[in-house]
Chain A
Amino acid sequence: MSAEVPEAASAEEQKEHSLLLWFVQPLILSNLEEMEDKVTSPEKAEEAKLKARYPHLGQKPGGSDFLRKRLQKGQKYFDSGDYNMAKAKMKNKQLPTATPDKTEVTGDHIPTPQDLPQRKPSLVASKLAG
């Protein structure tokens, strides 16, 4: 297996993968070690690849972001204060008509009940029982 030299990622390719800043222990390998290990271990080669794509991976301090992210699965943010303030502000202006295409609610837009997708229970029977 030929040793792969990691290509320097261009500015566009350097994605700030905030979701992937997970680690438990900081791993610092010297360049020389990396070259050696690539030849001997596929896992280390894969690690070198990953570090090449995401150079900031594993450098964020403080606890395990990976684990904390896992514990927060399903979290949606809804601030009733913001919502009510926005509603009050809207009262003075005409409410904009809902656009026919429902785009994702992001940014400064305060979500209204109409914007959020409805979570309904499955009314359809399982296809396994069909």
Chain B
Amino acid sequence: MIPGLGALTQDTLWCFSQLKGTVEIGATEADIISTVEFNHTGELLATGDKGGRVVIFQREQESKNQVHRRGEYNVYSTFQSHEPEFDYLKSLEIEEKINKIRWLPQQNAAYFLLSTNDKTVKLWKVSERDKRPEGYNLKDEEGRLRDPATITTLRVPVLRPMDLMVEATPRRVFANAHTYHINSISVNSDYETYMSADDLRINLWNFEITNQSFNIVDIKPANMEELTEVITAAEFHPHHCNTFVYSSSKGTIRLCDMRASALCDRHTKFFEEPEDPSNRSFFSEIISSISDVKFSHSGRYIMTRDYLTVKVWDLNMENRPIETYQVHDYLRSKLCSLYENDCIFDKFECVWNGSDSVIMTGSYNNFFRMFDRNTKRDVTLEASRENSKPRAILKPRKVCVGGKRRKDEISVDSLDFSKKILHTAWHPSENIIAVAATNNLYIFQDKVN
């Protein structure tokens, strides 16, 4: 990795690379992308959608002839991960929408990922088959049984090359452990366990065992009338297998240590920014609800996303974040209508780049924002079909708040709130990003000079 690569200096220019998905306006709801995730090497990129399907893209090998074109992502495998269900006992419709995908680190030739909907987590194995045995004694080439009386000689079957076939098989189904809707899954650094979190509980699983899980956090009050907050996201520490964090709808983060007790209801650390009571409004709690929490790759920081900001916290300082970035503060004067059209409840995710120097998150009008933590520079870019020519450089966008609007700027009232970028992903070591814009997937790369 080239030193400095990943920093958003003024020399970093983002270019369009690829666009996946259809152009037609009549795209179905099932096509809406609900999660995007690179694997640990960045070789694979997985997407999940509302229709319960997973599509995995693989980066092609870079050819020496095309130095200026970095490896593109092509479809590698696609499968139906979850299907719609109906819980007759509770009269609950269970959506097939894939809420999260998390990759396991690669340990052999096959790839493994976890995918989850509201109720069930599944472990999928994606493997390649490029050889097949030929020359069976008891079967002919079409697989029909041969009459043993006609066999006069014996032969040893040999493996012959065949066209590459990628197959996805569900290896484990972790079901019936969540009463409420699963919002997060996170693979532990021990590679043996993972956690799944719903609105009120977090469970710890062993990959090998599907009929049991340990409950490690339970915030359900004895009397549901006293419910004041729910769990919104959870993640394991990238290196310490005993540590995890979870965020709440009240804008707080709790760090827990599984060595302290079996049930981690008592947190080890509690991160909360003090609020100015004079600024409190009806919207305060709603916009402080954390929609995503992510550890930095270093494990030293956590990043949280609430409705209007992204915050970086140092694990060693609980009383306030060390950095706060405004994503779209101009929406503060629109909160009434955003509440009425439910947009105020949109759950945006946030991501770190490979070196933890830049953070990225989405906004409305198909805008997404990047913040360089070192230079304190930020940029707003747009995922649009108009800027979809190969290697076209993305032009920074600007939202005009009031007064005179310059030619290239867009006014707050012209923003399209139905075009929201909730899910983005950053390649683990390179400046390649995947941005999900409703039913389209955009891949951008930085300009190769």
Identify the A interface with B (CB < 8 A): 20, 23-25, 27, 41-47, 49-51, 53, 57-58, 62-64, 66-68, 70-71, 73-78, 119-122, 124-130
Contacts and interface: CB of A to CB of B under 8 A. Distances in A.
Name the residue in B229, B284, B335 with the highest tally of chain A Cβ atoms < 10 Å from its Cβ: B335
Contacts, number: 131
Given A46-B283, A74-B181, A127-B27, 11 more contacts: A43-B281, A43-B283, A50-B282, A66-B286, A71-B230, A73-B181, A75-B93, A122-B52, A127-B22, A128-B20, A128-B31
Given A71-B199, A119-B86, A127-B21, A47 B282 contact: yes
16 contacts: A20-B339, A27-B280, A27-B282, A41-B281, A43-B283, A46-B281, A47-B336, A50-B336, A68-B224, A71-B199, A78-B91, A119-B84, A124-B30, A126-B49, A127-B439, A128-B21
A82 to B, nearest CB: 12
Name the residue in A24, A25, A53, A128 with the highest tally of chain B Cβ atoms < 10 Å from its Cβ: A128
B181 A67 contact: no
Interface string B65-78: 00000000001001
Contacts of B225: 62-63
Interface residues of B, number: 57
B333 interface: yes
B55 A126 contact: yes
A45 B333 contact: yes
A125 B441 CA distance: 16
Contacts of B282: 23, 27, 47, 50-51, 57-58
B94 A74 contact: yes
B6 interface: no
B334 interface: yes
Contact of B22 (A44, A70, A122, A130): A130
- Interchain residue pairs A-B with the least CB separation, the first 10: A122-B51, A42-B333, A121-B83, A63-B225, A46-B335, A129-B78, A46-B336, A119-B84, A49-B336, A126-B53
